[in-house]
Amino acid sequence: MPSHHESRQLPFAQRQLFELVADVEKYPAFLEWFVAARVRQRVGNWLEVDQVVRFKGVRARFTTHAVLDPPRRIDIICHDPPFKRFDQRWTFVSIGDNRTIVEYGGALELRSLVLQHAMQLLFDEPQIAKLTMDAFVRRAHQLYGTPAGPPIS
């Protein structure tokens, strides 16, 4: 089953980064493949989110469910067809004054082997994970500024 993982140490507070990732309705503003995202329902720490994404001309509409554990973790799943498995997890670990390790990982599997093969040709999951993390890092710098001092990798 295809899966991916990215980890970065960032010069921002754990709460800031958690809130950035949890604000799913803003994704179309900085994730180029997001066409739309709308929170359909919010009950406590649980969200139901309608999303539309586009990769290489292929457009998909689906609904995800997210469980927020502020400011430590966000778990996202989707059971919509054509997914057999769609899991994502963001974790945020504070390592000192305004420094956080952010990890993003997930697994994606389609019900149809033919669609799974086609998706693998169009959708480079490790590259998408890197692009996703890069976009969130850029967005964090836009929203929170660039801290003084040496860059943190």
Q: What is the pLDDT of residue 100?
A: 98
Q: What is the pLDDT of residue 1?
A: 45
For residue 38, the SS3 value is strand
Q: Are 115 and 11 contacting, i.e. CB atoms less than 8 angstroms apart?
A: no
Cα–Cα distance, 28 to 34 (Å, whole number): 5
Cα–Cα distance, 47 to 39 (Å, whole number): 7
Q: What is the pLDDT of residue 38?
A: 98
Q: Render 61-75 in DSSP notation, one character per residue.
A: EEEEEEEEETTTEEE
User: Could you give phi then psi for residue 48, rounded to 5 degrees?
Assistant: -115, 120
How does pLDDT run along the chain (153 residues), one tens digit per residue?
Answer: 457 899 999 999 999 999 999 999 999 999 999 999 999 999 999 999 999 998 777 788 999 999 999 999 999 999 998 888 889 999 999 999 899 999 999 888 877 765 655 556 555 667 888 999 999 999 999 999 987 554 455
Residue 113: how many other CB atoms lie within 10 Å = 9
Q: What is the pLDDT of residue 67?
A: 98
Q: Does domain 3-144 have CATH number 3.30.530.20?
A: yes
